[in-house]
Structure 1
Amino acid sequence: MRKKLLYYVLIVISILSNLNANAQDRVITGKVVDSAESSIPGVSITVKNKKTAAISDAKGEFKIKATTGDILVISSIGYTKLEVPVSTATTMNIVLAVNNTALDEVVVVGYGTSRKKDLTGAVTTINAKDFQTGAITTPEQLIAGKVPGVSIISNSGQPGAGSTIRIRGGSSLSASNNPLFVIDGVPLEGEGGISGASNPLSFINPNDIETFTVLKDASAAAIYGTRASNGVIIITTKKGKSGAMRVNFSSTNSTSSITKQVSVLSADEFRAIVNEKGTAVQKMMLGKANTNWQDVIYQTAFMTDNNLSLGGEVAKLPYRISLGFQDQTGVLKTDKLQRTSLSIALNPTFFDNHLKVDISLKGSMQKARFAALGAIGSAISFDPTQPVYATENPQRFGGYYEWLDKTSATGLMNLAGRNPLGQLEQRFDESTPQRSIGNIQFDYKFHFLPELRANLNIGYDVAKGAGTVYVSDSAAIGYVAGGVGGTNNTYKQTKQNTLLEFYLNYAKELKAIKSKFDVMAGYSFNNYQTTNYNYASYNAAGVKYPNTDPAFPFDKPENTLISFFGRANYSLNDRYFLTATLRRDGSSRFAPANRWGLFPSIALAWNIKDEAFLASSKVISALKLRTSYGVTGQQDGIGNYDYYSYFALSAANATYPFGDTYYQGYRPGGFYSNRKWEETASKNIALDYGLFDNRVKGSIDFYVKNTKDLLNNIPQPAGANFSAFIVANVGSMENKGVEFNIGTQIIRTNNLTWNLDFNATYNKNTITNLTVIPQDKNYPGFPSGGIAGGVGGQFAFINAVGFSRNTFNLYQQVYNEAGKPVEGVFVDQNGDGIINQDDLYKGKSSVPKVFLGLSNSVNYKKWNLGFVMRASFDNYVYNNNFSQSGVLNQILGNNVLYNASSNYLETQFKGNSQQLLSDYYIQNASFLRMDNANLSYDLGKFLKNSNANLRINASVQNVFVITKYKGLDPEVASGIDNNVYPRPRTIALGLNLDF
């Protein structure tokens, strides 16, 4: 009887369990729309206190498993979070309200976060949804053209190449003008870059980045003190999130090719000139081939970029793990880069969310072969009538055609250019850069005083660059007569940076007086250590060359930065805001008397929209006035120890013989004990606005930056120091400008949205003093910008009081009646009848005054079409290819024949060293460039009974350039165009699978 009863009880329990399971397995379908009934894609839907999650598709539709009584949490950036209880219904229509001002959005700032509403400084945040798309290889490309006041120019088209980034113009002359990068709380060394990896951001997988936050004015950046004169870029990577595991896989495959070549003489044009004006010997040198050497060295490049990420929660531990692999060849033959990246983020909480722990680890391993960049110049100048491969004695020099001389010991013509393809294919510069950056951050909210938080951040940044350069002993570029030549050398460098930071933060709201206080004080310790390894030189067979042993196998320069910092925020009635910061920095790079610097800032903001006279306005949805003043510092660009007399290891080419052996020794270096911090004081006044329910929003900023005690490289009198130049504090400089940006949602309907964003920046740079005596009228300034092709050092620029940095200082060209330049004839500026240095005049600048950005995005149902355009105006470039090789002497003035720029056909110049300093070669480099055009289609849930979402996309990068510039590319960061690695056009296809 008992057995039967137990049997029936078990049956009932089983039935009830099945009923309960069926109730829990009920699928809820729904659609998320806004107040205009337009669908909202990408909305996060989670079941509160459970791991179940879903994301709305392109139509705003979603499916999620839930039961009656559960709470659905619906959230999306730009909309107010909503919690909806699940009833017995199986369908739900959810309306999300637009967060009209988006002012509650949390923005990452230095040492913490802030509501956008509370910001008083010039801060711009770009989220992942606004990034550039396509074949992105380095992180800074994601925001090019997106941020007002920020200029990003890629340094070349080489795989992994970095960019020249300027925020509100450069603040220095001889010191660094690069911004400070902070990645998940870890500052990168300002002068970053290691052997084999010149781009300090190249180790970061762009797919791991969540946001960029750009701190532009001193109020926002002064909390970083000495390293913030050129602005701060904070990069936040993706973190682990609670809920069920989500998997994402993306793959982008692309081809790249150059769109333009440096214009040189064709083989037939070259022959005609040699036959007309060459000697009999030179005519005999002509070959029978028709070789375009630029066609020979360039190729169609391929890249594949694949990324897999997993995120979710295990045992209440939110996590995210991502793995990336990129394999890219360059458009220059033999250029190749492989990068494998791993990122791990763990974000647990303890003690009822009082203790938050963020663990972030990022690593990158690269395998690279670096092409011999000198081949670019060789391809421009090598004789186009010669073949690529030798027809006589093809077994010599790898079979490549080379200029030969039977009377030479090597059989090679001395001082003759080498075969461009041979330079590439016979030189193996292979490197394996590695980098790891990580930190663990503890944020504890005290139980007895929850308004008080303690934050401890411990981090590291370790980079290793190692590689070999191998050149065969049969290669012309490494050939040695009568023995084994070539190269088989090793190089290595390690950088190790450590960080320890601690701060206390107290935040309190006093409702009685409608006030909020947020006070923070902290301490920071940063140590930067570099290990440079020194090796002997070896031939291709691995035999050491005599007298190449280094005196010491390595040296370890290092410097330390210790800081104390604090910040106070106060708001009254959520309308009036005050921010004050103070940082005191001490650097081992300065003498004890000048070691410490103090960097304060203060900022005010007024939320005008919340005033009674605007509160009910339906036109103005946001209006805030901001103003700030602050001081930041600079120490990058100076030596670690040269504030006092010191000895450093001599260079390998400066050895001393003892008997038959040569040794590297230690020798004194130039020193300057009175050096102190370079300081930049910034003023900013701005207006943030939003109109028509934020369908139109943006800001306008006016700023002035004054830098004093410029770190300037100045000459030393003979015998006064151990160096001809030292870096001292001399001079001052000013940047002033306007930034404007506007974001518009032109169309917002159920099936169609159209967003158009535009930003414009005007920046004027002026040097205001360069001498110890203020505005010494007798000091002409100092030159910069070396010109290739001259003798004895010739410069295109001068840095002089009253002018912008990198102002051209050249002769004014005289033209004939036909409008052609007359060689060697220039305007006599002072009328003394002699053309000399006194007749150089200060003209245009290579620094642009205006740059623009335009982003467009159109969504129609499941389709998205977008593009990004950039423009730059009032910047000029010195065309060194024209000036160096556009003359007859380039063809006939050497022991072999060299090709020339096609500019020779226009000028007929013979070759005059003074002509190099002609303003004829200054060309307008203003441009309009479409950086990116992309088209994507969202297939949504393309598999039955699956949450898998698939999105496919196609993109083109470097779509077109409109410019008057006659050279290869108008974007030349240095302002002097000479053998630039071309930026290719890239066509990419990609997919993104999320499930």
Structure 2
Amino acid sequence: MNKNLLTSLCIMACSSMIQVHAQQTALAGKIVDATGMPISGVSINVKGTQLGTSTNESGLFTLSAPSTGTLVITAVGYAGQEIPIAGQKSIQVTLRPDDTALDEVMVVAYGTARKSTYTGSAATVTPKEIRDQPTTSFENALNGRVAGLQVSTGSGQAGSTSNVRIRGIGSMNASNEPLYVIDGVPVISGNVGQMSGQIYSTSNVMSTLNPADIESITVLKDAAASSLYGSRAANGVIVITTKRGKVGKPTISLRSSIGLTPSWATDNYEIADPQAQINMEYQIFHDYRTSNRNNATGVNYTDAEASTYALGQINNRFNRHGYRFEVDDVSRMSNVRILGMTDGIENREGRYFDWEDYLFRTGTFQTNDLSVSGGTENTKYYSSLSYTKDQGRATINEYERISGRLNLNQRLFQNVEYNVNLNLANTDKVGFNDTRSTGSNPFFQSRNLLFPFYWPTDYKTGNPWTAQYGSLAFNPGYYNDQWDNNTRTLRLGAVQSLSWEIVSGLTAKTIFSFDNTDVRDDLYLSALHFNGATDKGSSSRWNNNIRKYVSSNTLTYNKTFNLHNISLLAGYEVEKNVTDYQFSNGVNLGSSNSSSIGTGANFRADSYSWGNNLMSALGRVDYNFDERYFVGASLRRDGSSRFHPDSRWGTFWSVSGAWSLHREGFLKDNDLVSALRLRGSYGVNGTLPNDNFAWRTLMYYKYNYKGSPGGLVSDGSLVNIDKGLGNTLLRWEKSNTYDLALEFGFLQNRLTGSVEYFSRDSKDLLQDVPTSGTTGFTRALQNVGVINNSGIELDLGGDIISNDNFSWSLRVNAAFLSSKVKTLDAGKDILWNDPTGGDARAQFIYREGESVLSFYGYEWAGVDPQNGRNVWYTNNTTNDFDFNGRAASYSYSKASQVIIGSAVPQVYGGINSDFEYKGISLGLNFAYKLGGKLYDGAEKDVNDDGYYWERIRSQQYYENMWSPTNPTGTQPKIDGNDLTDAIQFSSRHIYDASFLRLKNINVAYQIPMAWSQRAKIASARLFFNGTNLLTASKYKMADPEVGQYGTRGWETPLGKTYTFGIELNF
């Protein structure tokens, strides 16, 4: 299928090439801004002719033109120029801003807007800022670019899904992800995979969009900016516009890059060496024995008896792998001698197996992009073909994408334009469950389960080791060949629109889009696999087909009357979402080599189809006087099938205003103040429930019960599972948002920025509320909660140095955020666990007046220097003893759980700096987070103080654990009996989450045009990109950049990637 797809996409790309007029005089040039930075998308036309072209991403262009002609150069946001050619062969032109730096044109809700006249809160990210980053999905490159936008990439697996938050968390049970709009229509987003369990994979549907096809990204943050999207916009909107062709001869762009990620480029849970590991194992069993009575004698075991027991335990566990052990003396702290067994074909004395080297590799990332674009005044086209392969550091992780795009703009008549955008992409991912899955997570295995004394082969025979090493660990070298899983996603996106300018200023536009995402998850477990043995081999397939249809019809009117400017919008929109799901499974496969479901002796199947519909009417009015005083208002009325007919309609609206003070007489000729604008807004957005049928009382049926399919039992009754009591009064979650901002520019806009305050009250939040048992149900979904997100955003940038040879620009953004629970049902606390991967690694609490991400558990007081035991603050009337002046106990069972920190940072943002010197450019992108906590669930495993003897322990634990010779140790003694921190959530594993990270460094060299043109290349550019190269953090155990809930488990850490590439334009 991939070959056919690739062939089709090649035809799509190549067929769009169009011939232009014959050559005249060859002219090459570069267009730059006042800082010397190249400007892409600049239109260059020969005055009085149809000849023209546009600049590429490097600001370069070539054009055949009469030597006596005149170039007309225009670009959005810049003052146009006319330049006589006068026989020149090459030219460089510097464009100056048209008015102010605030005047960039942004793609916003249902249209475009100049930033200087826009009354909502929005920020833009250009392709230039993210173009060289080795990422499979564009949102991974947004970190630190926009104030108030937070990207959490919890896993470093190839093809993993990121979580995006704009201005905090606004819901408890519904989605907190922003709405994604591509080329004017909402699209499918998020993780759409269905496979879960021991082998788990995700399908990030946004990764089907090739980042190289993106023309602009706009982030809409307040109600004035996003309320036209109504019930889907409470969490903000990310508006993406893909590239379009420009007037001129065909431009061919070829871009290729390759990146390398060392297997462990970041230091994560460094394990103690083999000698330290076996010493700790000996101490666990020795301590266990001396802490218990000998039933035969009635007294505690002696050191000699404990030593004999401990040696017996470790010899019993590791003799079979070629090792035997002795001690110098019988004390608990004796050093264990590691010797080799001599009864096999291999003597392993002095040698240990390196599981990290065995399970991991240097990851490689490669991408190749080809695009062809151009056009005439009537027909413009952009086409692309892209191939990306991300070979993860784990040997069982890989991601591959093939995608193609064709965007066509055709002027049918003078006042009628037809546009069609087509995108086809196929992704294939092989992954694993990177939580605490003992069977499939190589990171968890190598750092916490696979002792260096375990080998993948039997020392006696040299054959593969097929048995379990213990109760937890398996041989991945053998079992990785006994299972297979992959996720394939095929996505087709089609958007067509027709615009008709009825009269001057009055335009009708109709859009129809079809977004089809087909996801297929396959999982095969042979009969030899530990998870497939019971079923004698198992093969499963999940098929998930998601279709989104959107039809939008709008009428816009723009008119200027003297100094009065008015813009009106009215529209009607319908959306239909359909999901078809099928599951099939075959067990008792005929052969250990057969992965086909059809070869099974027994089968199971399940399927369903569901959907929802949305119908909307919308309108907007914007008015300004002399571009000095601005007012705006928007209204949207949504009706959704996710609610009962009596309550399915919701009204969402906003009002906004702005005042451009710099246009007033008292500032108009001020040499210091170039721009000064005050704006504010208030509005209401909504959020839909995740469940399509939450308002109904429902049962669902198991596919098999007591051997009878379809939920039927022998007496004919139906088997049902409580899905919750329906609530016909369910209504929209609503977010009431205030926004007030001051935007400014000084010294001819050499320094620009903004200060913005926002407050969002998310009301009528959906919560599962307990119900009376007399109803036959345990819970019902109700609108009862309120969350507030408020804060201040700062954005400050400037052109520090700007001259013909050297330029330096710097931009800093920061978001100060407070996210608190205001109201709960009857004020009752709600306990919940981190749902990431289903391993319940951390416990949270919703409590009125507290953070929305409040960790809840026992408060660890530290280590008693007298005996090395864990000490717990009781936080109640229990007082076994005082510790640091507070009531404390050695037993957490006597303590009360309390809030032990919040995962919400106090401030987060980015620092971005760009330098350019004579064709050499350097870009630095830093992301930071200050304040807030992270909960390290994996540290509970690697710093286990004795509960699980089968845990490999970290070097950090070994160096800092208490012992008679280290009474100031910060980690408790290794203990075989007094197990006080086995599985409890506690502040022992809470850390400061602050960090500063160099997310991206980009170094590029623009090859001089005189050199590249000798090779018939219009322009050539070489670049290097490094990601995650430097990190500063108090947290040293592992990667401080964690997922959306502020927790770290056994997800694959983010790696350091070194990428080299070339870009050619013809």
TM-score by length of structure 2 reads: 0.83
Indicate the SS of the match to 2:585: coil
1:969 CA drift (Å): 1.3
Match of 1:334 in 2: 396
Question: Aligned equivalents of 2:909 and 2:1034: distance in 1?
Answer: 17
Give the superposition deviation at 1:175.
1.3
The residue number in structure 1 matching 2:765 is 710
Superposed displacement of residue 355, structure 1: 1.2
Alpha carbons 2:53, 2:62 under 8 Å: kept: no
Contact between 1:227 and 1:634, CA under 8 Å: does it hold in 2? yes
Cα displacement string for residues 359-380 of structure 1 (whole angstroms, at most 9, x for unaligned residues): 1111111222223533232333
What letter matches 1:851 in structure 2? Answer: Y
Relative distance call for 1:334 and 1:780 in structure 2 (3 A) is closer
Which one-letter code corresponds to 1:707 in the other structure? S
Counterpart in 1 of 2:50?
Answer: 50
Bigger mean CA deviation after superposition, 362-371 or 310-319: 310-319
CA deviations over 1:682-722 (Å, ceiling 9, x no partner): 00000111111111111111011111111123344445354
| 1:359 has 2:399 as partner | no
Superposed CA offset, 1:597-625 (max 9, x none): 11110000011111111110121111111
Question: Is the CA contact 1:576–1:606 (under 8 Å) kept in the aligned structure 2?
Answer: yes
Supply the distance in 1 between the matched residues of 2:682 and 2:380 (Cα, whole angstroms): 40
Q: What is the aligned partner in structure 1 of residue 4 from structure 2?
A: none
Instruction: State the alpha-carbon separation in 1 of the partners of residues 208 and 852 from structure 2.
Output: 32
Deviation per CA, 1:166-206, whole angstroms, max 9, x where unpaired? 10001111211100000111212465524465323110000
Change in Cα spacing, 1:984 to 1:787, as seen in structure 2 (3 Å) is: closer
- Asked if residue 419 in structure 1 is aligned to residue 419 in structure 2, the reply is no
Cα distance in structure 2, aligned partners of 1:273 and 1:743? 54
* Counterpart contact for 1:132–1:932, Cα < 8 Å: no
The answer to whether the 8 A contact 2:202-2:487 is kept is no
Does the 8 Å CA contact 1:883/1:916 hold for their aligned counterparts?
Answer: no
Distance 1:526 1:830, change over 3 A: farther
Q: 1:242 & 1:856 partners in 2: Cα distance?
A: 33
Question: What does 1:971-986 correspond to in 2, within 5 Å?
Answer: 971-973=1041-1043, 974-986=1045-1057
SS at match of 1:347: strand
Q: 2:268 aligns with which of 256, 261, 265?
A: 261
Quote how far apart the aligned CAs of 1:23 are.
13
Superposed, 1:715-754 pairs within 5 Å as 715-718=770-773, 720-722=775-777, 724-754=778-808
- Is the Cα contact below 8 Å between 2:642 and 2:689 reproduced in 1? no
Query: Do the aligned partners of residues 949 and 652 (structure 1) sit closer, same or farther apart at CA in structure 2, a change above 3 Å counting?
Result: farther
Displacement of 1:387 in angstroms is 3.3
In the other structure, the counterpart of 2:1026 is 956
- Which has the higher mean CA deviation after the structures are superposed, 367-376 or 138-147? 367-376
Work out the CA distance in 1 between the residues paired with 2:761 and 2:999. 33
**Does structure 1 residue 867 correspond to structure 2 residue 928?**
no
Deviation at 1:47, TM superposition (A): 2.3
Out of 246, 249, 252, the residue aligned to residue 254 of structure 2 is: 249
Q: How far apart are 1:831 and its partner, in Å?
A: 4.5
User: Alpha carbons of 1:368 and 1:785: their partners in 2 closer, same or farther (altered >3 Å)?
Assistant: closer
Q: Is the 8 A contact 1:364 1:434 kept in 2?
A: yes
Shift of residue 934, structure 1, vs aligned partner: 1.4
Residue 933 (str. 1) matches residue 1001 (str. 2):
yes
CA gap of 1:191–1:830, structure 2 versus 1, over 3 A, is: farther
Match in the other structure for 2:80: 81
Structure 2 counterpart of 1:505, one-letter code: T
Amino acid aligned to 1:949: S
Q: Say which SS state the counterpart of residue 357 (structure 2) adopts.
A: helix
Corresponding position of 2:849: 802
Q: 1:535 aligns with which of 571, 581, 584?
A: 584
Matches of 2:57 and 2:733, distance apart in 1:
53
- The structure-2 alpha-carbon separation of the partners of 1:194 and 1:472, relative to structure 1 and needing over 3 Å to count, comes to closer
Indicate the SS of the match to 1:644: coil
Q: Deviations over 1:267-310 (max 9, x none)?
A: 22221123344342443212436234333322111121000000
Query: Structure 1's 758 and 662: CA in aligned 2 closer, same or farther, altered over 3 A?
Result: farther
* 1:642 alignment counterpart: 694
Which amino acid in structure 2 is aligned with residue 364 of structure 1? A
Call closer, same or farther: CA 1:624–1:268 in 2, change over 3 Å.
same
Equivalent residue for 2:305? none
> Which one is further off, 627-636 or 882-891?
882-891
| Among candidates 455, 465, 485, match of residue 429 of structure 1 | 485
SS in 2 for 1:733: strand
CA 1:720–1:270 in structure 2 vs 1: closer, same or farther (change >3 Å)? farther
User: Mind listing any 5+ residue stretches in structure 2 that lack a counterpart?
Assistant: 1-20, 195-200, 286-308, 324-350, 881-888, 962-970
Counterpart CA distance in 1 for 2:867 and 2:129 is 49
Sort the Cα spacing of 1:728 and 1:786 in 2 relative to 1 into closer, same or farther, 3 A.
Answer: same
Write the distance in 2 (CA, Å) between the matches of 1:277 and 1:929. 39
Give the counterpart of 1:582 among 635, 639, 655. 635
Question: Cα distance, 1:315 vs. partner?
Answer: 8.9
Q: CA deviation at 1:262?
A: 2.0
Partners of 2:105 and 2:873 in 1: CA distance:
60
3-state secondary structure, aligned to 2:278: helix
Task: Confirm or deny that 1:295 pairs with 2:380.
Answer: no
Question: Are 1:510 and 2:561 counterparts?
Answer: yes
| Matched position secondary structure for 1:590 | coil
Q: What is the 5 A alignment of 1:159-174?
A: 159-174=158-173
Aligned equivalents of 1:400 and 1:664: distance in 2? 47
Alignment counterpart, residue 972 of structure 2, candidates 889, 907, 922: 907
Identical amino acids, percent of aligned pairs:
27
Structure-1 residue corresponding to 2:572 = 523
Matches within 5 A, 1:754-773: 754-771=808-825, 773=826
Determine the C-alpha separation between the residues in 1 that align with 2:722 and 2:387: 46
**TM-score normalized by structure 1?**
0.88
SS of the equivalent of 1:272 reads: helix
Q: Which amino acid aligns with 1:853?
A: G
Question: Aligned runs of 1:558-577 on 2, under 5 Å?
Answer: 558-577=611-630
Q: How far, CA to CA, are the matches of 2:536 and 2:583 in structure 1?
A: 21
Is residue 210–residue 403 contact of structure 2 (8 Å, CA) maintained in 1? yes
Aligned to 1:451: 505
Verify the 8 A CA contact 1:472 1:487 in the aligned structure 2.
Answer: yes
Corresponding position: 1:273 with 2:343: no
* Residue equivalent to 1:408: none
| 1:166/1:179 contact within 8 Å kept | yes
Query: Which deviations, in whole Å up to 9, do the C-alpha atoms of 1:300-344 show, x marking residues without a partner?
Result: 111210000000126942101100001121111111111000011
How many pairs were matched up?
939
C-alpha distance in 2 between matches for 1:479 and 1:458: 50
Q: 2:142 and 2:829 mapped to 1: Cα distance?
A: 39
Kindly provide the amino acid, as one letter, of the partner of residue 802 in structure 1: G
Q: Distance in 2 between matches of 1:707 and 1:188?
A: 24
Q: What's the counterpart of residue 207 of structure 1?
A: 212
Match of 1:650, SS state, is coil
Where in structure 2 are the equivalents of 1:870-885 lying within 5 Å?
A: 870-885=927-942
- Decide whether aligned partners of structure 1 residues 561 and 735 sit closer, same or farther in structure 2, where only a CA change above 3 A counts: same
Deviates more, 1:138-147 or 1:270-279: 270-279
For residues 63-78 of structure 1, the aligned pairs below 5 Å read: 64-67=63-66, 70-76=69-75, 78=77
The answer to whether the Cα contact below 8 Å between 1:869 and 1:928 also exists between their aligned partners in 2 is yes
Change (3 A) 1:527 1:569: same
2:1020 alignment partner, SS class:
strand
Structure 2 vs 1, CA of residues 320 and 640 (structure 1 numbering), >3 Å: closer, same or farther? same
Q: Distance in 2 between matches of 1:951 and 1:634?
A: 45
Gaps of 5+ in 1: 1-21, 405-412
Q: Distance in 2 between matches of 1:991 and 1:202?
A: 22
Query: In structure 2, how many angstroms separate the alpha carbons of the residues matched to 1:342 and 1:61?
Result: 25
Worse overlay, 658-667 or 211-220: 658-667
1:4-63 alpha-carbon deviations (Å, 9 max, x no partner) = xxxxxxxxxxxxxxxxxx998245577767779x686655533254244364998x8976
Label 1:532 to 1:852 Cα distance change in 2 as closer, same or farther (>3 A).
Answer: same
Q: Is the 1:609–1:624 Cα contact (8 Å) retained in structure 2?
A: yes
1:122 paired with 2:193, answer: no
In the other structure, the counterpart of 1:10 is none
Q: 1:56 to 1:237 in 2, by over 3 A?
A: closer
Structure 1 CA distance, aligned partners of 2:203 and 2:753? Answer: 35
Whether the 8 Å contact between 1:732 and 1:769 is mirrored in structure 2 is yes
Equivalent position amino acid for 1:339 in 2: R
Tell me, yes or no, if the aligned pair for 1:830 and 1:839 is still in contact at 8 Å: no
When structure 1 is superposed on structure 2, of 153-162 and 797-806 the one drifting more is: 153-162
